[in-house]
């Protein structure tokens, strides 16, 4: 149901606050009550959406989010005010999270983001074209190539004869979106099993 808005509400929504109100009260005739435009508030756009608690995927700060969805489609994401970490706030990167799934088109409508990858794409070494592949193809292929590279470049000792048991041919990029246990497994696999010593993280400053 639509509701009219008073002059005081208008100032409040502007975030002007008490100081601003005082400024407007006896001031310039341009802000006299009769000169203010009247506003109608539309229905709350997220009223019928489903709320799901989630987290920002971009860095290690761990900000919490609320994902709003309608008919199983994400329509909006904002900071979770109940989170002790970010208390509802998000940085500019986090505020753009909704755009991962949808973008605003020329008609100001949210539409699915055409740049979002939803399938495995593979470009062969030296190739110029991306080919669509399945995960059933990709996962064993990744494992095979990692093992081959590691075996071909594994060093038991360095040039001073010190035992190193490492490969310098592979590096590992961590993720801000995995938890302690997953991090532990990544380290076990990379350092313990493969001898990878170049490990880095997307949130490293
Ligand atoms: S990218 Fe920004 S919003 Fe996301 S977790 Fe990091 S600080 Fe929070």
What residue ranges do the domains of the chain occupy?
A: 3-41, 50-112, 120-200
Residues in the chain: 205
CATH class of 50-112: alpha beta
Which of residues 200 and 12 earns the better pLDDT score? 200
What pLDDT is attached to residue 14? 56
Q: How far is the CA of 70 from the centre of ligand 1 (A)?
A: 24
Report pLDDT for 90.
96
How much distance in Å is there from the Cα of 185 to the middle of ligand 1?
A: 24
Q: Beta strands of the chain (E only): which ranges?
A: 3-4, 40-41, 50-55, 64-70, 73-79, 102-104, 110-112, 120-122, 131-133, 154-157, 163-173, 196-200
Instruction: Please write down the long-range contacts of 122-130, taking CB distance under 8 Å and 24 or more positions apart.
Output: none
Q: Any alpha helices (H) in the chain, and if so which ranges?
A: 7-13, 17-25, 92-95, 98-101, 135-153, 180-187
pLDDT at position 174: 82
**Quick one: average pLDDT of 80-92?**
96
> Average pLDDT in the 145-173 region?
96
Note the pLDDT of residue 3. 52
Pocket of ligand 1 contains residue 94 by CB under 6 Å: yes
Q: pLDDT tens digits for 94-151? A: 999 988 888 889 998 888 889 889 999 999 999 999 999 999 999 999 999 999 999 9
> Span 149-178, mean pLDDT?
93
In this structure, what token pair is assigned to residue 163?
A: 């035992």
Which band of pLDDT confidence, cut at 50, 70 and 90, is reported for residue 75? Answer: confident
Is the pLDDT reported for residue 25 higher than 70?
no
| Beta carbons within 8 Å of 167's beta carbon, 6+ residues apart | 149, 150, 153, 154, 155, 194, 195, 196, 197
- Is the CB of residue 56 below 6 angstroms from any atom belonging to ligand 1? yes
The protein residue whose alpha carbon is closest to atom 2 in ligand 1 is: 91
Give the model's confidence band at 22: pLDDT under 50 very low, under 70 low, under 90 confident, else very high.
very low
Looking at the CA of residue 55, tell me the nearest atom of ligand 1. Answer: 5
pLDDT for 8 beyond 80: no
d(CA 190, ligand 1 centre) in Å: 26
| Atom in ligand 1 nearest the alpha carbon of residue 94 | 3
């Amino acid at each position: 149901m639509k509701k009219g808005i008073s002059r005081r509400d208008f100032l409040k929504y502007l975030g002007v606050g008490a100081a601003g109100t005082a400024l407007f009260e006896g001031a310039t005739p341009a802000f006299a009550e009769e000169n203010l435009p009247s506003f109608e508030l539309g229905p709350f756009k997220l009223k019928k959406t489903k709320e799901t608690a989630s987290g920002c995927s971009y860095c290690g700060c761990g900000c919490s989010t609320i994902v709003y969805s309608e008919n199983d489609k994400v329509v909006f994401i904002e900071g979770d005010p109940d989170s002790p970490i970010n208390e509802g706030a998000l940085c500019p990167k986090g505020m753009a999270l909704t755009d991962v799934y949808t973008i605003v088109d020329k008609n100001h409508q949210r539409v699915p983001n055409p740049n979002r990858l939803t399938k495995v794409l593979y470009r062969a070494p030296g190739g110029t074209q991306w080919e669509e592949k399945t995960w059933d193809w990709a996962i064993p292929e990744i494992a095979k190539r990692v093992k081959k590279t590691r075996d071909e470049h594994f060093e038991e000792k360095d040039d001073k004869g010190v035992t190193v048991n490492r490969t310098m041919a592979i590096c590992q990029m961590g993720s801000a979106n995995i938890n302690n246990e997953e991090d532990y497994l990544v380290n076990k696999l990379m350092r313990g099993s493969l001898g990878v010593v170049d490990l880095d993280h997307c949130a490293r400053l």
